[in-house]
A and B are shown apart, each in its own frame.
Chain A
Amino acid sequence: MPKWGLSMQEGTIVEWLAAEGSTITQGDEIVEIETEKVNNTYEAPCSGLLRRHVAPADRTVPVGGLIGVVAPANVSESEIDAFVARFEAAFVPEAAEEDSPTPRAIEVDGRAINYLDTGTGDELPLLLLHGLCADLESWMFNQPAIAHGRRVIALDLPGHGASSKDVGSGDIAFFASVIARFLDGLGITRAHLAGHSLGGAVSIALALAHPDRVASLGLIAPAGLGADINGGFLADLIAAEKRRGARLALSQLVHDPDLVSRDMIEKFLRYKRTDGVPEALAVIADASFDGDRQLNVFADRLGEITAPILCIWGEQDRVIPPSHADKLPAGAKIHRLENTGHLPHMENAAQVSALLATHATESERKLT
């Protein structure tokens, strides 16, 4: 059972995509697993003959537990039985790590900003900015992967997660100014930025306002490039109060609606039901959208951006059109991912993590 994100302790097998007896290649999607946060597909960690599904569908297994066996054809069934028995006898689930990083908060202009600070390294830190109605946990697949050898900080934007619910004017400039002051508070003069959707627009605004502080931009399905946006989706997202409405709204975010887990819906509803959130979302929506139009568009200023740009977009994004990537200046690296919706960093976590890490490293190398 893989460990996705810092808080994952167990996962439940939803469905095996590779049958017993099939030959699998490293990187193949072999099994769908549900965690507390989200459903995800596990890619084969090795190649070989998948001999056994040790954990059938609906079985919940602790992280590190055995879910399947890959072995050559000449290994007998009884040898596999013995291996499974030995594993189960010896396996001790990892206790919840007491020293695992936990979010903290600092005060920024009278607002508490909650953030998760992970990893260390000599390179510039990477700051991750989530989208509307999300929070720092939306980076749970990416942050640990990138934080090997680099400091990676994910934060909750005002109005989101465990940060203050006061969103001021609620427009992109407001969020950008909060981020700048947040970096001041942490004593960070220069950082890589990666932002998703609303967070993407905030990243662009920050790069325009403070070019000296932004080492590179990683834009994931960003807002702010063009005017079009799926206003119906936004209305649904903001209006959703109950499970059914939440599922309908959230499933528009992804290409494969099965990715929307029960707990993802529950987490979203818990967020929506927090005091101050409906008001905050209303302010942000008024400042950011008018029906199918975005109100904070930087299309004619993109040429001013000096930081190297990486842009990742799902081909099946139903929220913001992937064609907006064409508005980026020449030199921007654009990756369009197949079978991917508006959440590439969750739907194709490993690939997006690798792209973000490489972009940061390469941008920094160019600088020096």
Chain B
Amino acid sequence: MQLSRDDLRTAYRAMVTIREFEERVAVEFETGDMPGFVHLYAGEEAIAVGACLDLDEKDIIGSTHRGHGHCIAKGCDIQGMMLELFGRKGGLCGGKGGSMHIADLDRGMMGANGIVGAGAPLIVGAGLTAKTLKTGGVAIGFVGDGATNQGAVFEAMNLAVVLALPVVFVFENNYIGEATGVDYAVGSGDIAARAAAFGMPVDKVDGRDFFVVHEAMRGCIERARNGDGPSGIEALSPRYYGHFQGDPQNYRGADEVERYRAEHDCLKIFRQRVIDAKLLGDDDLDAIRAEAKALVDGAVAAARAAPPPGPSDLMTDIYVNY
């Protein structure tokens, strides 16, 4: 384990912030005050944070419809995110994007995406920019298990290999695409093997274990930075909520999620590991979690008090100039 205590605090802070954020969004959404629909990331925190911990400002990530965790892992502002989810003028996207299209290009987060699989070609584009302008950056594309059945993702993987771009694909396998199991929908059943067939190394890892994800990504990112082309990981970890919030989830077992939370929760695994190694203590971790909760509480209060966009915002930002 080469991570410093500060790194571990940073990682834990990001993971618990995602958890607090998502658990709270679930509650807020139930009140009916949050428009549209939300896809929650709780349960998969170790993947986003493991993948993003070593990234910096020149690195770009591309996300999915389940994008809150990726935003937080890449350092997006929590309050800006919450305002956006509430459709407020001060949100990250001025209340024009919402949960499914949340983005912050200033932070290298080039967008959640409402179209399954569409983000993969886009992140290849970010890789092309990095290579062409020699920014030294890498492009990380999060791709869900459902999206791996999309042609766009196949094309993107092939193109990244053909052009040897600094791209890392993170295939998030949470076992279910919408309401249909991976066992059914992925013909070969093996996402990593299928991706590897495009001509890049792809490791299959336990997405509930931050340390495993982080270590696998370290190799991928280094490979990309060295100009050795794309690679990927398939990280497995369940989601704790439905496809969308409010989804009855009658496609999975009654106590399935409870079991995941009790037995293999990524936060618990992380806590156990750092305490066993005497790197961080319970006090440390509890304090971080309390801070995260306070941060989310503040964000919700601010979002509820914030004004919505007005009529003058309807027709702005369609074009740069027209």
Q: Within the complex, are A and B direct neighbours (CB within 8 Å)? A: no
A contact residues vs B (CB 8 Å cutoff): none
B contact residues vs A (CB 8 Å cutoff): none
